[in-house]
Amino acid sequence: MKSAAILITDWVEQDEVISGCIQSNRRCQELLYKRFYGPMMALCIRYTKNEEDALEVLHNGFLKVYKHMATYDAGKASLYTWIKTIVVNSAIDFIRSNQKFKNKVELKPVHEIGIDNVAISRMSAAELLEQVRSLPQATQTVFNLYVIEGYNHREIGELLGISEGTSKWHLSEARRQLKQLLLTMHVEK
């Protein structure tokens, strides 16, 4: 096996690392973790309220990755996509275990709420993330799944055990609250 520095920067030896992970080789697991830590941690941070919870989600996700590595099929998805799917599902599991979705009733349709693109363009990524993380957990989760991950309301409903209407309500509520936060920030500046 090549040195860790070559594997981490070159990633040519992906099959070798995958094979090592299947065999529970700690060095290969460490290499895989280091390779995907950044993007997966960023994903976890979007779904949680603090870094401690994000780290818990990340670690639970990687434990699942290691456990199920033998099921990875490069013909169906890239390794990144496969790991990302597992980590998103770990985030949803974490949210479910810590807070039940209270809005299980069908809610009336809502109008789309627009957010001023100029106000958003003035914000840093950290400021925008902070605003999203200030949303109630269920609303934040639906917003992330719909806007960032690209799930539709039917899929979100199935993942979270809520109706499509409730998913739509949470998205509308996220947009409403974010718009209000942006307006407040704009007035303060």
The 10s digit of each residue's pLDDT in 71-106 is: 999 999 999 999 999 999 999 999 888 865 444 444
Domain extent listing, the chain: 4-98, 117-188
pLDDT given for residue 126 in this prediction = 76
**List of residues 6+ apart from 37 with CB closer than 8 A:** 58
Taking the C-alpha atoms of residue 3 and residue 90, their distance in angstroms, rounded to an integer, is: 31
For all residues of the chain together, what is the average pLDDT? 82
Tell me whether domains 4-98 and 117-188 share a fold. no
CA angle at 138 for the pair 136 and 139, rounded to the nearest 5°: 65
Using alpha carbons, list the distances in angstroms from residue 5 to 1, 9, 106. 11, 6, 53
pLDDT given for residue 132 in this prediction = 86
pLDDT given for residue 100 in this prediction = 52
Find where tokens 């106000």 sit. Answer: 119
Per DSSP, the three-state class of 88 is helix
**What digits encode the pLDDT tens for the residues 124-134?**
677 778 888 88
Per the CB < 8 A criterion, the answer to whether 142 and 91 are in contact is no
| pTM of the predicted model as reported, rounded to 2 decimal places | 0.71
Minimal CA–CA distance to 68: which of 29, 98, 36, 34? 29
Per the CB < 8 A criterion, the answer to whether 95 and 47 are in contact is yes
CATH architecture label of 117-188: Orthogonal Bundle (1.10)
**What digits encode the pLDDT tens for the residues 6-54?**
344 455 589 999 999 999 999 999 999 999 999 999 999 999 989 999 9
Taking the C-alpha atoms of residue 54 and residue 152, their distance in angstroms, rounded to an integer, is: 24
Helix (H) or strand (E) holding 28: helix 26-47
pLDDT given for residue 186 in this prediction = 59
Per DSSP, the three-state class of 54 is helix
Q: Which fold has domain 4-98?
A: Rna Polymerase Sigma Factor; Chain: A (1.10.1740)
DSSP H stretches of helix in 69-152: 79-98, 117-121, 125-133, 137-143
